[in-house]
Amino acid sequence: MVGSAMELADIIKLLPHRYPILLIDRVLELVPGERVVALKNVTANESFFQGHFPGYPVMPGVLIVEAMAQAGCVMMLSGVEDPGSKVPFFAGIDRCKFRRPVVPGDQLRLELEVLRQRGVSCKLQGKAMVGEELAAEAEIMAVLGERG
């Protein structure tokens, strides 16, 4: 899958996430074990905008980090022989910073690179961009568990 793009149907085959928590719409670039670039189109119809915040919709930071993590999990699962037998879990977040609000109409470009990978665990450096602006960044740890 080196350099492969993925549409939503392909992402759904790989990730266990579903609406309303599936937070990536497309993968633009994928190099298993190295890097992934994905998109999240932020629309006014997102369910979280009902309460965050009425009259001033802002995407919750935790969901921006979740979108980065999901993109990283696509990269991790794409390098596994039987991805349907695995489930990705958050294992940690370090150096997380939020730089600008993400609002309806924004498109998040999620860029992640592997810092370290050992067996079923992976540490990724993630950035969430809106255009040329950095919206958020974090180091994310993820682990692939057995689906049971």
Which tokens in the block code for residue 88? Answer: 């990705």
Instruction: Decide: residue 144, CB within 10 A, 0-12 exposed, 13-18 middle, 19+ buried.
Output: buried
Out of 12, 52, 79, 104, the active site residue is: 52
Which residues does residue 27 pair with via DSSP β-bridges, in sequence order?
6, 38
Reply yes or no on whether 52 is catalytic: yes
Contacts of 53 (CB under 8 A, 6+ apart): none
CA distance 77 to 13: 11
| Residues belonging to the active site | 52
